[in-house]
Structure 1
Amino acid sequence: MTLKSALLVAVGLACAAVAPAAAQDVPARIKSAGKVIVANQPNYPPMEYKDPATNTLKGLDIDLSLALAKQLGVTVEWADIGFEQMISSLTTGRADLIHSGMSDLPKRRDSLDFVDYMKSGAQFYTLADRKDEFKLPTDFCGKKVAMSRRTSFPDETAKWSKENCEAQGKPAVQVVGSEGSADARTQLKQGRVDGAVQGSETLPYLVGLEKDSYVIVGKPFTSLYQGIAFAKTEPGLRDAYVAALKTLMASGEYKKIFDSWGLADAMLDTVLVNSEPVK
């Protein structure tokens, strides 16, 4: 082998070493388009939101989605789609996947597959000036508590209330469905409700953002996973994302993203699909 050919081989090996590890697994139509269309509604900080100063997308989901796409050798085209329309956006081809703080729930698996990437849970909070009234979650028994009606929180809170309030002879939590987490906070500030429920991954950010405004009450009363959602008809794209997420976990980039948003406690040790570890 000549020196020139040896150098060419070395360059080829170096290029192969830095090529995205999962790029070869991307379905042909995605590879041809060079992009994935990601359904996302940026109203759930710190997972996804728009910076008011620059109007740019920010959040853990944003950073992770971009890192995964880079690993796959494609770009991201964001599709701002209302939460209620997200699932239909996959079945009609308006989006390739959903990455927008969506919980991996059994009832959603009839039409979706989830690549789970973090832990989450429902948690109570209230105004800081009412902290002496609400020291324990059970102090919300009989009280009005707001939460987004688009999420699983209303059902989960009603179930918690049956077990922790009504079963103990206390009045039930009065679940108040809101238009979203921002609306729940508005109702709380206006005194129309006594407390609110939000995802545990968002509350530390909220408390830090609006100092001395809110207080978290107790620990999360549910445990579930958030996942990137794919149509059942797209197992190839799902599996490509599994491979990409495994690579980010192994390289430390996954941890770096979670650390940057103060959510290290929400990380997973391994990739899950539909809440089951990937073999």
Structure 2
Amino acid sequence: MRAILLVACLMYAGAAQAGPPAEIMARGSVKAAVSPNYAPLDWRDPATGELTGFDHDLGNALGKQLGLTIEWVPSTFEQMIPSLETGRVDVILSAITDLPSRRGTMTFVNYYRSGPQAFVRIDRAAEFPNNAALCGKTIGASRKTNYAKEVATWSQANCVANGKPDIIFAGNDGPADSRLQLKQNRIDAGLQGNETLHYMMKLEPNAYVLVGEPLRQQLAGIAFPKRSEALRDAFADALRTLIADGTYHKLLDKYQLSTNAVSEVTIDAGQ
């Protein structure tokens, strides 16, 4: 019995001391892909050109907790996943949604909640008292996201099923394109992650209003290759520490993202 208890204690101690892989620790850094065009999570300070945002600050805090430097690798959204799969970067820390369809090659540490949120020009606010008013209208959003599928699913369940016309989805190049198309009356509403909207409305005050609630809730994740479970688990443990000591919530508050907080760290929990 004593021998069994000794083995169990040693196994527990080994698990408690688990950290980043030896090759990462020897290098002293983690290469993290970031697409700096998604404020307030990822963007460049217009005054200095330096990377900034919630992801940047959180990533550096996680690195410090792990005794590692985060080596940021700016990238386009389209390049991030191939870079992760081919080993050019170790992680993606750039507001990527944890989707089951992405888990063939990736695994995620879920670190904030998001949701596709519709918004309209303020002069049309009265036309859109709730999400149901979107039925039969044209919504613009980035074609790089899964929002076309999200809109179609929501529309079928909430518009078509109730005898209302389907929502028309107009794919575009991103949030800036949506705002331009709204101003030009080419679309009726824009759609983007609700985590970005407070920042957007601060930049353009009295220009837009939100419509109802997000169409659904999603989980964003720090993405790792499937083969990098040890590094993933080390980041998950570091994030748990930052939640416990208050750092995580201070950073969320700094970027007006407190409503996007997760209450616990999960792995591959996005739906």
Given the two structures, how large is their TM-score scaled by the length of structure 1?
A: 0.88
Whole-Å Cα distance in 2 between the matches of residues 235 and 254 of structure 1? 22
Alignment partner of 2:249 out of 241, 252, 255: 255
Query: Which residue of 1 is the match for residue 169 of structure 2?
Result: 175
* 141-150 or 181-190: bigger deviation: 181-190
AA matched with 2:161: A
Cα deviation for residue 23 of structure 1 reads 8.7
Equivalent pair of 1:138/1:164 in contact (CA under 8 Å): yes
1:109 shift after superposition: 1.0
User: 2:105: which partner in 1?
Assistant: 111
Q: How many residues align?
A: 255
- Residue 186 of structure 1: CA displacement? 1.6
Corresponding residue of 2:65: 71
Q: Indicate if the aligned counterparts of 1:148 and 1:178 stay in contact, CA closer than 8 A.
A: yes
Does 2:181 align with 1:184?
no
Q: Which sits farther off after the overlay, 181-190 or 247-256?
A: 181-190
Would you say 1:234 and 2:200 are equivalent positions?
no
1:137 partner amino acid: N
SS in 1 for 2:35: coil
Q: Tell me what 1:124 maps to.
A: 118
Q: 1:24 offset after TM fit, Å?
A: 6.1
1:12 is matched with: none
Return the alpha-carbon distance in structure 2 between the equivalents of residues 191 and 139 of structure 1: 17
Q: 1:97 aligns with which of 91, 101, 113?
A: 91
Report the alpha carbon displacement of residue 183 of structure 1 after superposing the two structures with TM. Answer: 1.5
Q: CA RMSD in A?
A: 1.5
**Alpha-carbon contact 1:23-1:72 (below 8 Å) kept:** no
**2:250 partner amino acid:** K
Contact 1:47/1:101, CA 8 A, preserved across alignment: yes
Segments of 4+ moved more than 3 angstroms: none
Question: Which residues of structure 2 form unaligned runs of 5+?
Answer: 1-15
- Note the 1:190-201 alignment, pairs <5 A: 190-201=184-195
Q: Please show how residues 132-147 of structure 1 align to structure 2 within 5 Å.
A: 132-147=126-141
Between the aligned partners of 2:155 and 2:257, the Cα distance in structure 1 is 28
2:53 paired residue number? 59
**In structure 1, the residue corresponding to 2:95 is in which secondary structure?**
coil
- CA deviation vs aligned residue, 1:137-176 (integer Å, no higher than 9, x gap): 1212111110111111111011111111111111111101
Name the CA distance, whole Å, in 1 between partners of 2:72 and 2:182.
Answer: 31
Matched, 1:27 2:21: yes
Residue 10 of structure 2 corresponds to which residue in structure 1? none
